[in-house]
Amino acid sequence: AQSVTQLDSHVSVSEGTPVLLRCNYSSSYSPSLFWYVQHPNKGLQLLLKYTSAATLVKGINGFEAEFKKSETSFHLTKPSAHMSDAAEYFCVVSYNTDKLIFGTGTRLQVFP
């Protein structure tokens, strides 16, 4: 079955340190992959997307993600966390651009 797994439900980092949020997808034909961010009581906002162009994708607010087919991964990274990055992050996969499959989310805490 097609699926997406976010390996950590919670991640805590100190401000100014790197962020790594992990995402794996089930192997199938070429997926489209997305990362969304949700701040409290808000809707989801697209951070970045991969659609079979460059494997390293740069998004908003300094985030980037690398598509690794051999590892079926699409991890989200940021070199230096900011307090405003505290939010929930969703990895999303689509195999036929029709149906989107959402991960269970990773809550990022940033400590001063």
The residue ranges that bind another protein (CB under 8 A) are: 32, 34, 36, 41-46, 49, 51, 90, 94, 96-100, 102, 104-105
Task: Tell me which H or E stretch contains 103.
Answer: none
- CA-to-CA dists, residue 87 to 23, 27, 35, 94, angstroms: 16, 28, 12, 23
- Nearer Cβ to another protein (17/30): 30
Q: Of 58, 56, 44, 62, which is closest to residue 102 (Cα–Cα)?
A: 44
CB of 79: closest distance to another protein in angstroms?
25
Nearer to another protein by C-beta: 54 or 80? 54
Tell me whether residue 5 or residue 15 sits nearer to another protein (CB atom).
5
Whole-Å CA distances, 109 to 45, 59, 84: 18, 20, 10
Shortest Å, Cβ 38 to another protein: 8
Are 3 and 92 spatial neighbours (Cβ–Cβ below 8 Å)?
no
Least separation in angstroms between CB 78 and another protein: 21
34 versus 74: smaller Cβ distance to another protein: 34
